[in-house]
Structure 1
């Protein structure tokens, strides 16, 4: 009886419904999923309802403008992700032309992107397209955006607080920033600290940590909480900001996942608030009107498959 039910489900289940569900789960928004798939929001809502009806399970519980996946919804997402990944590999494996595609890709990126998914994407892309040359240059976010607007690069992985006219933007990584001090700072090793204990401390800052710039939410946080310390050291480089914090110049903000080893080795000390400060996104950016060569088209197709296969939270 179960085998007959399974065959019946296989016959009536539309893969496009699973593809839409993947977009909903990864974007965590019906409207953003619709924009990503280039369809209307009612079409996405209808696809979700059809999938729930086909499976006989509630997949998403709506709570105002937000939603939470049910246990069944989480399981369907896991299975759909595996299916999509397998289909993507099948597509590349059967395309005999991939090894023949040549050309160059110029990718601009901010420093210190640490992501297993990104590393594996690069490995898989090179395996599928061995004759494509990849040039990666590390730049500040503002310089990346400027270069993309001038159409001198294929794409960029960059901070970008607000949409930029003529640039397409897809969130690739979401980093949670928190507050830290270094081994040579007077607060190092102290437990039960409160926010009030930090208000007069001097800061180490990113040079992009200014109102209107890419990391300005960190400035807004300091202003809203009433910090009175001054900025005593700064750098555009994450590694140099981390070095200055370690050296005791002041407290500062860093991505949580970047400094796990520093915390384990007691080079840095986590400060309040426990939940961190703010999420900062790294986006995949490209100029929508720039003509793409065959290599660049292959790159964007592969990136799309990667982002479809791995939810945002899985990419760090």
Structure 2
């Protein structure tokens, strides 16, 4: 029987070499990889050399005090992670004939993703499929997109600055940002403020508040209001921007629906303007090349149906 030439490499490859390379890439060291694999360092070095020979390319650049993957090595690492994730999901795939759904769902979120769309989905899914395990991680929007591109998670929900052609983007919800200050701030509690009263006060910003980034509408409004020159604090995490604003370090911009409770509890004070607020769109990001286990497939399918059946007006949060 003739072997398809496209599959010939897969038949020839010693898959143990791929596993060894994955550990080398994760440990960033031949010595640590050998220790983890319970093998000698020469054997691990030889395995790496054999794999580089099979692929006819350099995968790792090593020198005195340096260790880094080449571009080919980074690409192979991403593919190897996906392969071994697929292997780890085999028990779930084989057990798909069973009625009870099980498996892992991995979700990546930007820090200020707060929406009933996701919360209600998690509530229903956990109730109906108690054996499904969830991992939810908060990252910067750039990291979310990169990890989805490398098939490290089921789905991502984040800001999007530039849409990549190999990913799928679905508009999940729209939020509006307002300006706020904390109790120690001199503007806290003052009624009748105007935009002019905010001029020249220090500002606390998200890392993504740049003129060429997803929060550029906020930057443009800050520029018009004279709030651009004194950025005294930055973070990629909403909780940390909120902390700095509550400590009185400066004015900050937050999604209005996210900090409603903080305002009601007297922890934050809403500042002008009250109309024509910067709008920001949040996207569900998927990688069509990622192999989904049964739990992931059902979860994503349910979430997509929810989005299709919910008009944008009901997915727009403006306080």
Q: Could you state the TM-score of these two structures normalised by the residue count of structure 2?
A: 0.64
- The farther-off stretch of 306-315 and 241-250 is 306-315
SS in 2 for 1:100: coil
Deviations 1:79-135 (A, max 9, x none): xxxxxxxxxxxxxxxxx9784333322111122433333222112122333333222
1:301 CA drift (Å) = 0.9
Distance in structure 1 (CA, Å) of the matches to 2:165 and 2:226: 34
- Give the secondary structure class of the aligned counterpart of 1:181: strand
Q: CA-to-partner distance for each residue in 1:59-96, whole Å, 9 max, x for gaps?
A: xxxxxxxxxxxxxxxxxxxxxxxxxxxxxxxxxxxxx9
Name 1:139's counterpart in structure 2: 139
1:167 aligns with 2:153: no
Alignment of 1:77-96 (within 5 A): none
CA contact (8 A) 2:198 2:225 kept: no
Corresponding residue of 2:101: 101
Contact 2:219 2:228 in 1 (8 A): no
Q: Output one character per residue of 1:266-306: Cα deviation in whole Å (capped at 9) or x when no partner.
A: 22111111125311122110112223222222111110122
TM-score where L is the length of structure 1: 0.64
Distance across 1 between alignment mates of 2:98 and 2:308? 20
Segments of 5+ residues of structure 2 without an aligned counterpart are 1-95
What does 1:96-135 align with in structure 2 at a 5 Å threshold? 99-135=99-135
Match of residue 242 from structure 2: 242
Question: Contact 1:104/1:134 (CA < 8 Å) preserved in 2?
Answer: yes
Cα RMSD (Å) of the superposition? 2.2
Residues 276-315 of structure 1: matches in 2 within 5 Å? 277-315=277-315
Any unmatched runs of 5+ in structure 1? 1-95
Corresponding residue SS for 2:272? coil
Q: Would the aligned equivalents of 1:176 and 1:256 in 2 still touch at CA under 8 Å?
A: yes
| Distance (whole Å) between structure 1 residues aligned to residue 98 and residue 158 of structure 2 | 28
Structure 2 CA distance, aligned partners of 1:98 and 1:311? 35
Compared with structure 1, are the counterparts of its residues 252 and 276 closer, same or farther at alpha carbon in structure 2 (3 Å cutoff)? Answer: farther
CA 1:106 to 1:228, structure 2 compared with 1: closer, same or farther past 3 Å?
A: closer
Equivalent pairs, count: 221
**Contact 2:196/2:225, CA 8 A, preserved across alignment:** no
Between 1:152-161 and 1:125-134, the stretch displaced more is 125-134
1:227 corresponds to: 227
Alignment-derived partner of residue 40 in structure 1: none
SS in structure 1 at match of 2:118: helix
In structure 1, the partner of 2:273 is 273
